[in-house]
Structure 1
Amino acid sequence: MKQLFFTGLIIVFSMALQAQNGTKMPPLDKSPMDMSYYPVNYPILRIQPNKTVEPLTARVVYSRPQKNGRKVFGELVEDGKVWRLGANEATEIEFFRDVKIGGKKIKKGRYTLYALENKEKWTVILNTETDIWGAFKYDAAKDVVRVDCTVYRQAELTEAFSMMFEKVNDKQFNLVMAWDDEVVRLPIGL
């Protein structure tokens, strides 16, 4: 009987201790993080049996703000003002080998992506400052390259800011960025 009493007491004590040490997790972010790879779907391709996969070249990590009926370009994303290419933490791109952007050799490594948006073009900026929230401490002195990218209009609106890679040929791929009615492609050479 004593053993049963002590076992019950231990269970009750453990439950009380667990309740006291419970961790309250933060709520789901309104602009969830996402990730894209080049080659496209790289992690999935790696687990396919008997599949030869190109080596990993790039990965982009970004947060996906939603349009939610707002006017995006010219208001939410101000023309001519540095934008973090997403929401929350500034968007980061990592290259697992040297690449070329805007005719400039970019060494493998991790960089932050920013953009200056206007109706005709986005100036996409690769910057060495990483692990930063927003664009509040953006430092142009740390820019590696700036590339003007043409804005294309699409009939179907993209509700959540989206980024993906697309293969052009064996020597080039694009980082495609879309939100609202705008689509932009940043060419990246191998």
Structure 2
Amino acid sequence: MRYTWFILPLLLCNLSWGQMNHPKASPFSKIEQEVGLSKITIAYSRPSAKGRVLFGNQLNGESGLVPYGRIWRVGANESTKITFSNDVLITDHLLSKGTYALYTFPEEKEWQVIFHNNTTHWGDGRTNYNLDEDALRILVAATQTQDFQESFLISFDGLDHNGAVMNLNWGTTQVSVPMFFDTKSIMQLQIDERLANSPTPQTYYEIARYYQEQDIHREKALGHVEEAIEKGGDTYYFYRVKSLILADLLRYDEAIAAAEISLKLSEIEGKDEFVRLNQNTISNWKSLRKKNK
């Protein structure tokens, strides 16, 4: 306590001489979204509505925070950055993998969405923005939602192995941008590389499972899972995938036989979920076998 008189003036000096770290009105956010074997990363700041008019030139005598027809950084503070780990198809336009500044030109019914090569501008780069540095510019519809989004939000929906939809939401305005990746080609390159470099039984199984899940290369899938069984021995999940592939080939007798082996192996290892899965598919395939006879 006797040293308080000495420490307090030092603290006050540090506060007055140094820059204070204070809460930001538009806090920083970073999202990473996996899409199949690709990743989309977005770094942006999130302004809030706070009862203000958000979009438009003039409404009841009040201008919007984001005027129509003028470039917007899609957030606040520094420019929003979007990174693609692989080449991506946006609507029907191919964009190379890399990092871009994300800009828009909002209008009432549709927005121009821009992926810009120059990522060095602060904010929207209004005075330095150069149209020639755009990597891609697309036109998408602007819709109105029933729910009000207080803080500007970028999110992803409609996810599957090959694509996603990027949604921009603020207030009741939503803009959606579909994105697609050639996951099958990316996966096939990985498969070819693995097969050429000392594949293990697990390698053959994973390739067979992928082909089965994607409903492609059925005969190749069967060959790979049989290779997995030959080299890796009797495994409940090996036989599970083999049964599914045989069923896809409409070879129900063989599918049932493989599923019965998987069922027995699952019971031995206490894999209750696989016991139920095999029981259900065996029953289903027996019904389908009768119909096909």
Q: TM-score range by the shorter chain?
A: 0.7 to 0.9
Counterpart CA distance in 2 for 1:168 and 1:15 is 56
% of aligned pairs identical?
A: 29
Partner letter of residue 32 of structure 2? Y
Residue 22 of structure 2 corresponds to 27
Cα deviation 1:6-58 (Å, max 9, x = unaligned): xxxxx99x968x74667543211101111122128xxxxxxxxxxxxx54511
Residue 152 of structure 1 corresponds to 143
Residue 101 of structure 1 corresponds to 90
Partner letter of residue 65 of structure 2? L
Partner letter of residue 44 of structure 2? Y
Partner letter of residue 157 of structure 2? E
Q: Among residues 150, 156, 161, which one is paired with 1:165 in the alignment?
A: 156
Q: Does 1:72 align with 2:90?
A: no
Counterpart CA distance in 2 for 1:170 and 1:32 is 31
Counterpart CA distance in 1 for 2:109 and 2:119 is 28
Q: Among residues 84, 92, 112, which one is paired with 1:123 in the alignment?
A: 112
Counterpart CA distance in 2 for 1:158 and 1:36 is 18
Larger radius of gyration: 2
Residue 3 of structure 1 corresponds to none
Gapped regions of structure 2 (runs ≥ 5): 57-63, 182-293
- TM-score, normalisation: structure 2: 0.52
Q: Which has the higher contact order (CA 8 A, sep 6+)?
A: 1
Structure with the higher strand share, 1 or 2: 1
Counterpart CA distance in 2 for 1:15 and 1:98 is 57
Q: Does 1:61 align with 2:43?
A: yes
- TM-score, normalisation: structure 1: 0.78
Counterpart CA distance in 1 for 2:38 and 2:180 is 14
Structure with the higher helix share, 1 or 2: 2
Counterpart CA distance in 1 for 2:144 and 2:45 is 22
Q: Does 1:183 align with 2:165?
A: no
RMSD after superposition = 2.6
Q: Describe how 1:76-91 pairs up with structure 2 within 5 A.
A: 76-91=65-80
The answer as to whether partners of 1:125 and 1:146 remain within 8 angstroms in 2 is yes
Counterpart CA distance in 1 for 2:153 and 2:86 is 24
Count residues with an aligned counterpart. 169
The answer as to whether partners of 1:36 and 1:165 remain within 8 angstroms in 2 is no
SS of aligned partner of 1:141: helix
Q: Does 1:36 align with 2:31?
A: yes
> CA distance change for structure 1 residues 150 and 168 in 2, over 3 Å: closer, same or farther?
farther
Structure 1's consecutive aligned runs of 4 or more residues displaced over 4 angstroms after TM superposition are 18-24
Cα deviation 1:64-118 (Å, max 9, x = unaligned): 1111111001021110111110111111101111111232222221100000111
Q: Does 1:138 align with 2:129?
A: yes
